[in-house]
Amino acid sequence: MKRRDFIKQASVGAVASASIAAPAIVSAKTKIKWKMVTTWPKNFPVLGTGANQLAKLITEMSDGRIKVKVYGAGELIPAFEVFDAVSRGTAQIGHGSAYYWKGKIEEAQFFSTVPFGMNAQEMNAWLYYGGGMELWRESYEPFGIVPAAAGNTTVQMAGWFNKEINSTNDLKGLKMRIPGLGGEVLKRAGGVPVNLPGGELFTSLKSGVIDATEWVGPYNDLAFGLHKAAKYYYYPGWHEPGTTLEAIINKKALDALPKDLKIIVDNACKVVNQNMSLEFTAKNNAALDTLVNKHKVDVRKLPDDVLIKLKELSHDVVTELAAKNKAAQKIYDSYNKFYQQVSAWHEISENIYFNIR
Protein backbone atom coordinates (compact mmCIF):
# COMPACT_ATOMS: atom_id res chain seq x y z
CA MET A 1 0.00 0.00 0.00
CA LYS A 2 2.78 2.44 0.95
CA ARG A 3 4.59 1.55 -2.26
CA ARG A 4 1.48 2.34 -4.33
CA ASP A 5 0.99 5.65 -2.50
CA PHE A 6 4.62 6.60 -3.17
CA ILE A 7 4.29 5.89 -6.91
CA LYS A 8 1.03 7.87 -7.07
CA GLN A 9 2.60 10.87 -5.32
CA ALA A 10 5.65 10.70 -7.59
CA SER A 11 3.38 10.73 -10.66
CA VAL A 12 1.49 13.78 -9.39
CA GLY A 13 4.79 15.53 -8.72
CA ALA A 14 6.01 14.79 -12.24
CA VAL A 15 2.84 16.24 -13.75
CA ALA A 16 3.15 19.34 -11.56
CA SER A 17 6.78 19.80 -12.61
CA ALA A 18 5.86 19.46 -16.29
CA SER A 19 3.13 22.07 -15.95
CA ILE A 20 5.60 24.51 -14.43
CA ALA A 21 8.15 23.98 -17.21
CA ALA A 22 5.61 24.06 -20.04
CA PRO A 23 5.28 27.87 -20.45
CA ALA A 24 8.94 28.07 -21.55
CA ILE A 25 8.20 25.86 -24.54
CA VAL A 26 6.20 27.19 -27.48
CA SER A 27 3.38 24.81 -28.34
CA ALA A 28 3.10 23.54 -31.91
CA LYS A 29 -0.28 25.27 -32.06
CA THR A 30 0.90 28.58 -30.62
CA LYS A 31 0.60 31.57 -32.96
CA ILE A 32 3.53 33.96 -32.61
CA LYS A 33 3.52 37.55 -33.89
CA TRP A 34 6.80 39.22 -34.74
CA LYS A 35 7.48 42.80 -35.80
CA MET A 36 10.22 43.41 -38.36
CA VAL A 37 11.69 46.91 -38.57
CA THR A 38 13.94 47.88 -41.46
CA THR A 39 16.32 50.62 -42.53
CA TRP A 40 14.77 50.70 -46.02
CA PRO A 41 11.84 52.67 -47.41
CA LYS A 42 8.65 50.61 -47.37
CA ASN A 43 8.53 48.17 -50.31
CA PHE A 44 11.66 49.63 -51.89
CA PRO A 45 12.82 47.34 -54.75
CA VAL A 46 15.08 44.45 -53.68
CA LEU A 47 16.13 45.94 -50.32
CA GLY A 48 12.66 46.55 -48.94
CA THR A 49 11.06 43.73 -50.89
CA GLY A 50 13.86 41.46 -49.70
CA ALA A 51 12.78 42.17 -46.12
CA ASN A 52 9.20 41.48 -47.19
CA GLN A 53 10.28 38.18 -48.72
CA LEU A 54 12.03 37.17 -45.51
CA ALA A 55 8.88 37.88 -43.50
CA LYS A 56 6.75 35.97 -46.00
CA LEU A 57 9.07 32.96 -45.99
CA ILE A 58 9.12 32.71 -42.20
CA THR A 59 5.33 33.01 -42.10
CA GLU A 60 4.66 30.48 -44.85
CA MET A 61 7.37 27.96 -43.94
CA SER A 62 6.08 27.91 -40.37
CA ASP A 63 2.52 27.42 -41.65
CA GLY A 64 1.53 30.61 -39.91
CA ARG A 65 2.94 29.67 -36.50
CA ILE A 66 5.11 32.77 -36.77
CA LYS A 67 3.48 35.74 -38.47
CA VAL A 68 5.91 38.54 -39.31
CA LYS A 69 4.69 42.08 -40.02
CA VAL A 70 7.15 44.42 -41.76
CA TYR A 71 7.58 48.11 -40.97
CA GLY A 72 9.59 50.29 -43.36
CA ALA A 73 11.94 53.03 -42.22
CA GLY A 74 10.06 55.69 -40.29
CA GLU A 75 6.82 53.72 -39.93
CA LEU A 76 7.46 52.43 -36.42
CA ILE A 77 10.94 53.82 -35.70
CA PRO A 78 13.55 55.88 -37.61
CA ALA A 79 15.81 53.97 -40.01
CA PHE A 80 18.93 54.07 -37.88
CA GLU A 81 17.21 52.94 -34.67
CA VAL A 82 16.59 49.39 -35.87
CA PHE A 83 19.44 47.87 -33.85
CA ASP A 84 18.24 49.44 -30.59
CA ALA A 85 14.63 48.42 -31.21
CA VAL A 86 15.58 44.77 -31.69
CA SER A 87 17.98 44.84 -28.75
CA ARG A 88 15.23 46.18 -26.46
CA GLY A 89 12.65 43.75 -27.80
CA THR A 90 10.45 46.51 -29.22
CA ALA A 91 10.70 44.48 -32.44
CA GLN A 92 11.69 40.83 -32.65
CA ILE A 93 13.58 41.11 -35.93
CA GLY A 94 15.22 43.82 -38.02
CA HIS A 95 16.72 44.16 -41.49
CA GLY A 96 19.60 46.48 -42.38
CA SER A 97 23.39 46.36 -42.61
CA ALA A 98 26.09 46.23 -39.94
CA TYR A 99 27.85 49.47 -40.89
CA TYR A 100 24.83 51.43 -39.70
CA TRP A 101 25.68 50.43 -36.12
CA LYS A 102 29.33 51.48 -36.15
CA GLY A 103 28.64 53.90 -33.32
CA LYS A 104 27.87 50.92 -31.09
CA ILE A 105 30.15 48.22 -32.49
CA GLU A 106 32.77 49.78 -34.73
CA GLU A 107 34.28 46.44 -35.77
CA ALA A 108 30.84 45.26 -36.96
CA GLN A 109 31.60 47.05 -40.23
CA PHE A 110 33.74 44.06 -41.23
CA PHE A 111 30.50 42.04 -41.47
CA SER A 112 28.97 44.55 -43.87
CA THR A 113 31.65 45.49 -46.39
CA VAL A 114 35.30 46.52 -46.60
CA PRO A 115 36.58 48.94 -49.27
CA PHE A 116 38.54 47.05 -51.93
CA GLY A 117 37.65 43.89 -49.98
CA MET A 118 35.68 40.73 -50.69
CA ASN A 119 32.77 40.51 -53.10
CA ALA A 120 29.40 38.85 -52.40
CA GLN A 121 30.53 35.33 -53.21
CA GLU A 122 33.65 35.67 -51.10
CA MET A 123 31.82 37.30 -48.17
CA ASN A 124 29.30 34.48 -48.02
CA ALA A 125 32.07 31.90 -48.16
CA TRP A 126 33.86 33.59 -45.24
CA LEU A 127 30.69 33.92 -43.18
CA TYR A 128 29.42 30.37 -43.71
CA TYR A 129 32.67 28.42 -44.03
CA GLY A 130 35.48 30.67 -42.81
CA GLY A 131 34.43 31.41 -39.24
CA GLY A 132 32.90 34.82 -39.96
CA MET A 133 29.43 33.95 -38.69
CA GLU A 134 30.73 32.79 -35.33
CA LEU A 135 32.64 36.06 -34.86
CA TRP A 136 29.59 38.04 -35.93
CA ARG A 137 27.37 36.36 -33.35
CA GLU A 138 30.03 36.90 -30.71
CA SER A 139 30.07 40.63 -31.49
CA TYR A 140 26.30 41.04 -31.15
CA GLU A 141 25.82 38.76 -28.14
CA PRO A 142 26.26 41.52 -25.49
CA PHE A 143 23.31 43.34 -27.07
CA GLY A 144 20.98 40.34 -26.94
CA ILE A 145 20.93 40.06 -30.73
CA VAL A 146 21.59 37.15 -33.08
CA PRO A 147 22.69 38.20 -36.60
CA ALA A 148 22.23 36.36 -39.89
CA ALA A 149 23.23 37.21 -43.45
CA ALA A 150 20.05 38.18 -45.31
CA GLY A 151 21.04 39.71 -48.63
CA ASN A 152 23.91 41.12 -50.63
CA THR A 153 24.01 44.04 -53.05
CA THR A 154 26.94 42.60 -55.09
CA VAL A 155 29.49 45.16 -56.39
CA GLN A 156 27.95 48.62 -56.26
CA MET A 157 28.53 51.74 -58.35
CA ALA A 158 30.80 54.50 -57.04
CA GLY A 159 27.81 56.84 -57.11
CA TRP A 160 26.18 59.95 -58.54
CA PHE A 161 28.14 63.22 -58.69
CA ASN A 162 27.35 66.79 -59.58
CA LYS A 163 31.07 67.48 -59.89
CA GLU A 164 33.54 65.81 -62.24
CA ILE A 165 36.20 63.69 -60.57
CA ASN A 166 39.39 64.05 -62.60
CA SER A 167 41.93 63.83 -59.78
CA THR A 168 42.19 63.36 -56.02
CA ASN A 169 41.94 67.14 -55.65
CA ASP A 170 38.31 66.93 -56.75
CA LEU A 171 37.53 64.86 -53.64
CA LYS A 172 38.51 67.69 -51.32
CA GLY A 173 35.49 69.36 -49.78
CA LEU A 174 33.14 66.96 -51.59
CA LYS A 175 29.98 66.47 -49.52
CA MET A 176 28.92 62.90 -50.20
CA ARG A 177 26.45 60.51 -48.68
CA ILE A 178 28.60 57.46 -48.03
CA PRO A 179 28.36 55.23 -44.93
CA GLY A 180 30.72 52.85 -43.17
CA LEU A 181 34.43 52.49 -43.77
CA GLY A 182 34.09 54.08 -47.21
CA GLY A 183 32.96 57.27 -45.52
CA GLU A 184 36.09 57.34 -43.36
CA VAL A 185 38.25 56.82 -46.45
CA LEU A 186 36.57 59.74 -48.21
CA LYS A 187 37.14 61.87 -45.13
CA ARG A 188 40.86 61.15 -45.22
CA ALA A 189 40.90 62.07 -48.89
CA GLY A 190 39.56 65.50 -47.91
CA GLY A 191 35.88 64.87 -48.49
CA VAL A 192 32.93 65.29 -46.13
CA PRO A 193 31.01 62.04 -45.56
CA VAL A 194 27.31 62.41 -44.74
CA ASN A 195 25.11 59.62 -43.40
CA LEU A 196 21.55 59.80 -44.71
CA PRO A 197 18.81 57.16 -45.02
CA GLY A 198 17.80 56.18 -48.54
CA GLY A 199 14.56 58.11 -48.49
CA GLU A 200 16.41 61.45 -48.21
CA LEU A 201 18.95 60.98 -51.00
CA PHE A 202 17.13 62.43 -54.01
CA THR A 203 16.04 65.65 -52.31
CA SER A 204 19.44 66.19 -50.68
CA LEU A 205 21.27 65.67 -53.97
CA LYS A 206 18.84 67.73 -56.02
CA SER A 207 18.86 70.66 -53.58
CA GLY A 208 22.64 70.73 -53.23
CA VAL A 209 22.74 69.69 -49.57
CA ILE A 210 25.21 67.06 -50.81
CA ASP A 211 27.38 67.06 -53.93
CA ALA A 212 27.31 63.31 -54.47
CA THR A 213 25.76 60.12 -53.20
CA GLU A 214 26.30 56.44 -53.49
CA TRP A 215 23.33 54.14 -53.09
CA VAL A 216 23.50 50.67 -54.59
CA GLY A 217 23.54 50.09 -58.35
CA PRO A 218 21.58 50.80 -61.54
CA TYR A 219 18.35 49.05 -60.56
CA ASN A 220 17.89 50.75 -57.20
CA ASP A 221 19.35 54.05 -58.39
CA LEU A 222 16.90 54.16 -61.30
CA ALA A 223 14.02 53.46 -58.89
CA PHE A 224 15.04 56.50 -56.82
CA GLY A 225 15.38 58.66 -59.94
CA LEU A 226 18.90 59.71 -58.98
CA HIS A 227 19.69 60.34 -62.66
CA LYS A 228 17.40 63.36 -62.40
CA ALA A 229 19.46 64.83 -59.58
CA ALA A 230 23.07 64.38 -60.73
CA LYS A 231 25.10 64.65 -63.94
CA TYR A 232 27.72 61.94 -63.64
CA TYR A 233 27.49 58.25 -62.73
CA TYR A 234 30.86 56.85 -61.66
CA TYR A 235 32.15 53.30 -61.24
CA PRO A 236 33.51 51.01 -59.77
CA GLY A 237 32.04 50.66 -56.28
CA TRP A 238 35.40 50.55 -54.52
CA HIS A 239 33.76 51.31 -51.18
CA GLU A 240 31.15 48.51 -51.28
CA PRO A 241 32.35 45.55 -53.36
CA GLY A 242 29.81 43.13 -51.88
CA THR A 243 27.71 44.53 -49.08
CA THR A 244 26.12 41.98 -46.78
CA LEU A 245 22.68 42.86 -45.48
CA GLU A 246 21.58 41.36 -42.21
CA ALA A 247 18.63 40.08 -40.28
CA ILE A 248 19.07 40.82 -36.60
CA ILE A 249 16.94 38.79 -34.24
CA ASN A 250 16.17 39.42 -30.59
CA LYS A 251 17.87 36.54 -28.74
CA LYS A 252 15.10 36.05 -26.17
CA ALA A 253 12.49 35.86 -28.92
CA LEU A 254 14.62 33.36 -30.86
CA ASP A 255 15.41 31.23 -27.79
CA ALA A 256 11.69 30.95 -27.02
CA LEU A 257 11.10 29.13 -30.31
CA PRO A 258 11.12 25.33 -30.61
CA LYS A 259 13.90 23.80 -32.67
CA ASP A 260 11.93 23.48 -35.90
CA LEU A 261 10.96 27.16 -35.92
CA LYS A 262 14.55 28.22 -35.21
CA ILE A 263 15.62 26.18 -38.24
CA ILE A 264 12.93 27.84 -40.34
CA VAL A 265 14.09 31.34 -39.38
CA ASP A 266 17.72 30.43 -40.10
CA ASN A 267 17.01 28.91 -43.49
CA ALA A 268 14.63 31.70 -44.53
CA CYS A 269 17.54 34.11 -44.00
CA LYS A 270 19.80 31.94 -46.16
CA VAL A 271 17.24 31.84 -48.99
CA VAL A 272 16.84 35.63 -48.99
CA ASN A 273 20.60 36.09 -48.77
CA GLN A 274 21.09 34.12 -51.97
CA ASN A 275 18.06 35.44 -53.83
CA MET A 276 18.93 39.09 -53.33
CA SER A 277 22.35 38.86 -54.98
CA LEU A 278 20.79 36.93 -57.88
CA GLU A 279 18.06 39.54 -58.30
CA PHE A 280 20.56 42.41 -58.33
CA THR A 281 22.70 40.59 -60.90
CA ALA A 282 19.67 40.05 -63.13
CA LYS A 283 18.06 43.50 -62.84
CA ASN A 284 21.09 45.78 -62.83
CA ASN A 285 21.73 44.82 -66.47
CA ALA A 286 18.46 46.14 -67.87
CA ALA A 287 18.51 49.18 -65.58
CA LEU A 288 21.95 50.25 -66.75
CA ASP A 289 20.79 49.94 -70.35
CA THR A 290 17.80 52.17 -69.55
CA LEU A 291 19.96 54.77 -67.81
CA VAL A 292 22.44 54.94 -70.68
CA ASN A 293 20.22 54.62 -73.74
CA LYS A 294 16.96 56.18 -72.57
CA HIS A 295 18.09 58.78 -70.04
CA LYS A 296 21.51 59.45 -71.63
CA VAL A 297 23.35 59.18 -68.31
CA ASP A 298 27.05 60.01 -68.43
CA VAL A 299 28.69 56.85 -67.05
CA ARG A 300 32.38 57.27 -66.19
CA LYS A 301 35.19 55.28 -64.62
CA LEU A 302 37.01 56.87 -61.71
CA PRO A 303 40.56 57.82 -62.76
CA ASP A 304 43.24 55.25 -61.91
CA ASP A 305 45.19 57.66 -59.70
CA VAL A 306 42.04 58.34 -57.67
CA LEU A 307 41.43 54.62 -57.17
CA ILE A 308 45.06 54.05 -56.21
CA LYS A 309 44.89 56.80 -53.59
CA LEU A 310 41.58 55.55 -52.21
CA LYS A 311 43.01 52.04 -51.94
CA GLU A 312 46.01 53.31 -49.97
CA LEU A 313 43.76 55.21 -47.60
CA SER A 314 41.46 52.18 -47.26
CA HIS A 315 44.36 50.04 -46.09
CA ASP A 316 45.16 52.62 -43.40
CA VAL A 317 41.56 52.90 -42.24
CA VAL A 318 41.01 49.14 -42.01
CA THR A 319 44.25 48.29 -40.24
CA GLU A 320 43.77 51.14 -37.75
CA LEU A 321 40.27 49.87 -36.98
CA ALA A 322 41.68 46.38 -36.41
CA ALA A 323 44.22 47.75 -33.93
CA LYS A 324 41.60 49.47 -31.76
CA ASN A 325 40.71 46.43 -29.64
CA LYS A 326 41.14 42.67 -29.37
CA ALA A 327 37.73 41.91 -30.85
CA ALA A 328 38.41 44.05 -33.92
CA GLN A 329 41.84 42.49 -34.40
CA LYS A 330 40.39 38.99 -34.13
CA ILE A 331 37.76 39.72 -36.78
CA TYR A 332 40.23 41.45 -39.09
CA ASP A 333 42.73 38.59 -38.83
CA SER A 334 40.03 36.10 -39.81
CA TYR A 335 38.74 38.33 -42.62
CA ASN A 336 42.20 39.10 -43.99
CA LYS A 337 43.40 35.50 -43.92
CA PHE A 338 40.35 34.38 -45.88
CA TYR A 339 40.69 37.35 -48.24
CA GLN A 340 44.30 36.47 -49.07
CA GLN A 341 43.50 32.82 -49.68
CA VAL A 342 40.39 33.37 -51.77
CA SER A 343 42.17 36.09 -53.80
CA ALA A 344 44.94 33.67 -54.70
CA TRP A 345 42.38 31.13 -55.88
CA HIS A 346 40.27 33.64 -57.80
CA GLU A 347 43.37 35.02 -59.51
CA ILE A 348 43.66 31.76 -61.46
CA SER A 349 39.92 31.05 -61.67
CA GLU A 350 37.35 33.87 -61.70
CA ASN A 351 39.70 36.74 -62.63
CA ILE A 352 41.47 35.03 -65.49
CA TYR A 353 38.17 33.75 -66.82
CA PHE A 354 36.58 37.23 -66.81
CA ASN A 355 39.59 38.57 -68.69
CA ILE A 356 39.51 36.00 -71.47
CA ARG A 357 35.83 35.22 -72.00
The predicted model scores a pTM of 0.89
Mean pLDDT of 177-204: 95
Main-chain phi, psi angles of 248, to 5 degrees: -115, 130
Instruction: Give the model confidence (pLDDT) of 334-348 as tens digits.
Output: 999 999 999 999 999
At residue 221, does pLDDT exceed 50?
A: yes
At residue 21, does pLDDT exceed 80?
A: no
Instruction: Give the model confidence (pLDDT) of 226-266 as tens digits.
Output: 999 999 999 999 999 999 999 999 999 999 999 999 999 99
pLDDT, position 28 = 58
Residue type, 221: D
Confidence of residue 27 (pLDDT cuts 50, 70, 90): low
Mean pLDDT of 150-160: 97
Calpha distance 317→324 (Å, rounded):
11
Instruction: Give the model confidence (pLDDT) of 54-81 as tens digits.
Output: 999 999 999 999 999 999 999 999 999 9
Decide if 276 contacts 145 (C-beta within 8 A): no
Q: Which domains does the chain have, with CATH numbers?
A: 32-153+242-281 (3.40.190.170)
Mean pLDDT (the chain, rounded): 93
pLDDT, position 198 = 87
- Cis preceding-peptide flag for 258 (omega within 30 of 0): no
At residue 38, does pLDDT exceed 80?
A: yes
